[in-house]
Amino acid sequence: MAEKLKVQWATPELNMVGNALGYATQNKFMRKYMQRYVDFDDSAEIALTLISADKFKPVPRKINVLFTMWEFMQLPQSYLDAMYFADAIVTPSSFCNQLFRKYTGKPVYTCWEGIEPELYPFYDRQKNYNGGKFRFLWVGAPNPRKGYPFILEAVKVFEKAPNIEIYLKTTAPQLREGADIKHIFNEVMKMDYSEEKLGNIKKMVDEMPNKQLAGNLQVLGEHKNIFMDTRKLSNDELRELYNSAHCFLLPTLGEGWGLTLCEAMATGCPSIATAVTGCADFFNESVGYPIKYSIQEQDLENYGLRADGFMPDTVDFIEQMMHVVTNYPEALRKGKAASERIHNKFTWDRSAQRMRDILTDIYQREVGPHAS
């Protein structure tokens, strides 16, 4: 039996990766499954770091491989600076692969992300769908890139529909004692979603210290059919939330991969999403309902960059939601096909094997084809 490739796992501890669900989850499962195919050894000649490029710190005197991703059509300078110190770059999507190749002469590889099949098995929604309450689910941080403003536009349409539920699983800032999340919600609903006004709302909420909203489930809307959930859920609890939904929503402006969409699809949940960037590698009209979009420039203040993003069409998004409600048997068929696609092609085990092959190729390029 050939000796396993030795790899230094140079990624920081999970609590240092940041609040990004994608990176934290990827670190957890990639390391778990890579242990089947490589030996982790801090003395190894090759070091792998899975992190946002602007947080990348190369390991001295090692072959440094950076696994990273991006969501827009131009890269910030901080990413370009980091790529200079990487010997090779790995990214989860065809979109990112093509984008990175425009900016660097370093080798760029694609390694899809995935799901753990045992954690997100297919769930037969037909058995529990009896024409009662229909639940749309959105999971993400409350920021424009994740489609939060489009979800709020949908809330305006459906909050008065007694048979429709919209469930927002998100994070929340700190609130002062006695602050009313319904007030914050109503203020957000009045906004036109300009970057300036989004910033103003964030400032208003951030100035209310002393009480952590996390751990709350608020029920809003005329018919108490809007759920805003800021609790920290386990993987099992998140799976049950996916299973409780009749349709998953991701009107995103861009994803490095689109992990929550991938997980929801694995359970067979019919999905409406923007089929762009990372999502385009596994999501299309044969397994879901793509939203029409246009390309519009976005001001990414945190990166000092104006970049083109993919702007979902609000009207088409809401029309797709209505279509799914009224054509649910069709949607269930697409959900079943989506589950089969994810389970057959996009698992963490397959991803780990691919990463092993990529690292072996990089090592042999750098050290030589007969290196052990």
Q: Cα–Cα distance between 240 and 169 in angstroms, integer?
A: 13
Q: Which of the four pLDDT bands, split at 50, 70 and 90, describes residue 236?
A: very high
Cα 145 from Cα 311, distance rounded (Å): 9
- Phi and psi for 298 in degrees, rounded to 5? -120, 145
Q: Quick one: average pLDDT of 158-169?
A: 92
- The confidence score (pLDDT) of residue 168 equals 93
Say what the alpha-carbon torsion angle 52, 142, 331, 163 is, to the nearest 10 degrees: 160
pTM: 0.87
Q: What percent of the chain has pLDDT over 70?
A: 83
The answer to whether the beta carbons of residues 185 and 151 sit under 8 Å apart is no
What one-character DSSP code corresponds to residue 115? B
Report the distance separating Cα 28 and Cα 21, nearest Å: 11
Average pLDDT of span 209-219:
61
What are the structure tokens assigned to 204, written together?
A: 């208003």
Higher local confidence (pLDDT), 299 or 316: 316
pLDDT of 177 over the 70 cut:
no
Structure tokens at 110: 């694609």
Does residue 186 carry a pLDDT above 70? no
Share of the chain above pLDDT 90, in %: 67
Cβ neighbours, 10 Å, residue 59? 16
**Where are the alpha helices (H) located in 245-347, listed in sequence order?**
259-266, 314-326, 328-345
Distance CA 63, CA 66 (A): 10
